[in-house]
A and B are shown apart, each in its own frame.
Chain A
């Protein structure tokens, strides 16, 4: 290594100096999107970690090179397009279409009323039903959503947080009706409410009861749904809200630490439930930084799980993650440029060793994605999988001096944040203090300033702009659908046995006021067609609602 450092010094003094004297570089200094300074050239002097400790082998701690020994040579990542809109019936058709197109897993997008625990007929739901996802008010809707899709054979991811317990109960109920043993179900619920407080905004209850719901779900899944990811700890929304790559890793892992502590506090053994933790990250444009980010996150989590939580099983430290390309990098200007951005981001996710991937559609800065745009996004993944060759080698960028140096640097900086969050008293306290929110807002504002001053180029926006607008055809929703959905849920409510509904809700309330696991009571409600809104309202009564404090 000393030899390399000497060699580099010689090269800098001679060959490089001559070149720089004649041709200065484009900028005085270069940095990544996250503001990490980057060198002109990396050599073993900067980018050669200790192989055994820092890299190791795929499928072995610290998992820097991937969590499986064969990675995509064994099985490709799951191509999982986040989809859902309008009614359960229309979304059901889109899922069937996506499965026919070669998609290998489902990912359910719920509309905002559903995500906030309101039925379609709630006054606050007006204008929002079926917009950003499918409207699900009761088990009846869930039955329609998965009609003709054998739950035994697909894995389903559901982006649901505050009311995750209710939607999970509905999924289990549908499986039972289909004659499927719930123990065979595979899938994920997001169930990560901490990031809702800082980045995504679909919280309902205050932090303490929310943490209880999460640990109840973890316990229930451990006992009854062994192949289910009970939580998907999400950096995606933190990044989308403006965080840097380093902050994305740090804040996500800080939240993960809080969940593990809560679960251990509830008496669970880390080696028993860690297999049900999964993660969700964003993939941005800066290819090498993103690849390094995924590798750094994997190594850091493995180290945290063994050093902080003293897991005995090394597999407990495996960071399994879903990736979505970065919606916030897509531009309304020259929308076809987004196809290229998504391809680069998806490539970064694959080179970073993701377990599943959603690729965004080119029209997402304009409207909800059209079917053609979704298909092109899926094709992008298929081209990377089958034509690019990157799936044939495990961690193909491992050993790149630049990528290893960036991996080390991202991990080092993330550890710095984790230390700071520990000092504040952990993630929950840091959120209550507004620390994480402020850090994200600062980064978002800095990024915006950089774009506006021209320090950062966004093609088609602040450079290479052109007048011609080539707006693609976008999806239009039927304006009548809210009315239809409202009538459906009202008809259901009128049909039920009111005494039975009242009894299920009383049982739920008693459970919520006590300390027993809430899942059985919620499942009983759901199976009796008590609606999502009714269940969430009863819990609101007991738990109260969270109110955000704003400080800019």
Chain B
């Protein structure tokens, strides 16, 4: 039987490792996670991956049309009001600017070629353009898309280039144990298949960059599973 001591040791071990994973285990990925707490049902978890998700495919002609049919960011479910941390040192370049993800958003230029974008914030961030923020500094509070706190509360996190017109998979640049983080729930998060290339873009860490306003990348002639 799993004793409470075993369970506790697993939790402690996991928690400690979470911190080290979140804080960066090396120099491969320049950014940290946008939350302080370890992932879990009570704190935060991935609710929709970046890229070629099955949901994005269903919304390719509407909600995600401007993102070439793909989900432009990483959705992290979190209770309304969860402090959002800057994923890296940087300078605020936009507060409630363009970029969508209402009701409030924030954009930070990290001076390393990347810009981070935080959407569905609970309230307007108390920051101003040109303000320096440090890695791990609280910069906002998470909210939900309708500002009600009862409409799937989550943080929408994007990573863009400095033109802000090209988006990258946050998983590629944020240091974390992503496959460990995904171990929650009754089924995996799924990606739409193109039967012409069924292995392509099927993992959270294998997704293409997006050019805003570009042609659809997932208008598949032979999707799997088939959808309208």
Is A bound to B? no
A residues contacting B by CB (< 8 A) are none
